[in-house]
Amino acid sequence: MSLLKQSTYQPLTEASAINLALDLNIFTEKADLTCKEIGDGNLNLVFHLVDQESGKSVIIKQALPYAKVVGESWPLTLKRATIEAEALKIFGHIAPNYVPKVYYTDEVLAVTVMEDLSHLIIARTGFIRGETYPLISKHLGEYLAKTIFFTSDYALTPAAKKAQVQKFINPELCKITEDLIFTDPFYDAETNEFEVGLKPEVEELWQDEELKFHVNVLKRTFLTEAESLLHGDLHTGSVFADNIETKVIDPEFAYYGPAGFDIGQVFANLLFQVIVNVPKRDLFLTHVETVWNVFEEQYTQLWNTENKEPLAKTPSFLQFQLAKFFEDSIGFAGCELIRRTIGLAHVADLDGIADEGSKLAAKRLTLKLGKVLVKQRKEIKDLPAFIRTVKEVL
């Protein structure tokens, strides 16, 4: 039976992924197809299909009903595949240069067929290998400005915005974020994972009531403020890049939330390279600066030319909005630095350091910087103060 006629979910295999592609007429019946499952994430199967004669290729991504990192004891909704596909379509319409094309989706199979980006490299992997991607920060700044503005109340009518919020209710995936970023790292939770050598710093963090107060405030912001449609997991492992292209993938955590969350995720994941890559520290600090400068410039332009809010031209309101985004992004970046160091899902920027002493030193700096950013986000008023704060900690 054709997979297109399936009424129930079943995980794909390499063979059935080929059959699905043929059923969809993506390739001709005579195509010499190869298929390899290449997923290295925690939540999905990813199949790379290539016609050996024409060179044509696609990616078929399928959500699993559980988290691979834990197993079937951690069930997950398959609806996230639909949310991801819809987010890719919206972001692709808004910022087509920075999002892969979507060719087909199937809600029952939890499948998305999309553009193959294998000519690019996952940005985190490239950074660790020594790449610097000179345009990535400019591209991410523009992506953030466009997606945050065009999915907000200022670009949509209030009714259309509320309909979008309802469409992207994503409680199961948001719960992962709420737990792994804003809750578990700040007490002795079973999901936490860290080296024995970090135990003194971790226990000190768990006892830091001022820090936990500020994290609670940020968590409340994440829970309650539906400013824009967010990617929701915008780290450098969700970005493909080379020296001229940047593509943002994997928005399965998409939901309506505070704009600063996506910006803060980008900040934090660039800061990992600032921390570990001392010879290129200034270059990656420049990337951080460029993300915000381009975001601010592009968002301001869209605010002034595309805004549908009658009172948007009220003096100082744009600056109020940008200041809020910036403050939130600093705090969220701090939470991300902490959770990637001692929480469930780490980053290779830190864990890949071969020398144990150097690794522990880098992680201590990461925790220190994370705490400072969370606690001092209101005092860090502008970009120069942000960069100065980072340099003072390091």
* Spans of all domains in the chain: 3-115, 121-393
Give 276's contacts (C-beta < 8 A, 6+ positions apart). Answer: 349, 350, 353, 362
Kindly report the number of other CB atoms within 10 A of residue 297's CB atom. 13
CA–CA separation, 318 and 307 (whole Å): 11
CA–CA separation, 2 and 24 (whole Å): 10
Phi-psi region of 277 (alpha: psi -120 to 50; beta: other; left: phi over 0): beta
With contact defined as beta carbons under 8 Å apart, do 186 and 211 qualify? yes
pLDDT at 42: 67
121-393 matches 3-115 in CATH topology: no
Backbone angles phi, psi at 385, to 5 degrees: -65, -35
With contact defined as beta carbons under 8 Å apart, do 36 and 17 qualify? no
CA–CA separation, 56 and 116 (whole Å): 9
pLDDT at 246: 98
Q: Length of the chain, please?
A: 394
pLDDT at 84: 95
CA–CA separation, 325 and 105 (whole Å): 33
Q: Does domain 3-115 have CATH number 3.30.1600.10?
A: no
CA-angle at 101, arms to 25 and 132, nearest 5°: 135
Q: What is the pTM of this model?
A: 0.95
Q: Return the DSSP state at 43.
A: S
With contact defined as beta carbons under 8 Å apart, do 351 and 359 qualify? yes
Quote the crossing angle between the two packed helices 356-376 and 209-224, to the nearest 10°.
Answer: 70
Phi-psi region of 112 (alpha: psi -120 to 50; beta: other; left: phi over 0): beta
pLDDT at 2: 64
Q: Does domain 121-393 have CATH number 3.90.1200.10?
A: yes
Give 221's contacts (C-beta < 8 A, 6+ positions apart). Answer: 258, 260, 328
**What is the C-alpha R_g of the chain?**
21
Instruction: Tell me which residue of 110, 94, 130, 10 sits closest to 60, measured CA to CA.
Output: 110
CA–CA separation, 63 and 66 (whole Å): 8
pLDDT in tens for each of the 394 residues of the chain? 567 666 789 999 999 999 999 999 999 888 899 999 998 766 789 999 999 989 999 999 999 988 765 666 678 889 999 999 999 999 999 999 999 999 999 999 999 999 999 999 999 999 999 999 999 999 999 999 999 999 999 999 889 999 999 999 999 999 999 999 999 999 999 999 999 999 999 999 999 999 999 999 999 999 999 999 999 999 999 999 999 999 999 999 999 999 999 999 999 999 999 999 999 999 999 999 999 999 999 999 999 999 999 888 888 999 999 999 999 999 999 999 999 999 999 999 999 999 999 999 999 999 999 999 999 999 999 999 999 999 999 9
Between the CA atoms of 190, 196, 202 and 204, what dihedral angle is there, to the nearest 10 degrees? 130
Please give the C-alpha separations between residue 42 and each of 46, 60, 64, 67, 167, in angstroms, as whole numbers: 11, 16, 9, 6, 24
pLDDT at 209: 98
Strand partners, 98: none
pLDDT at 120: 97
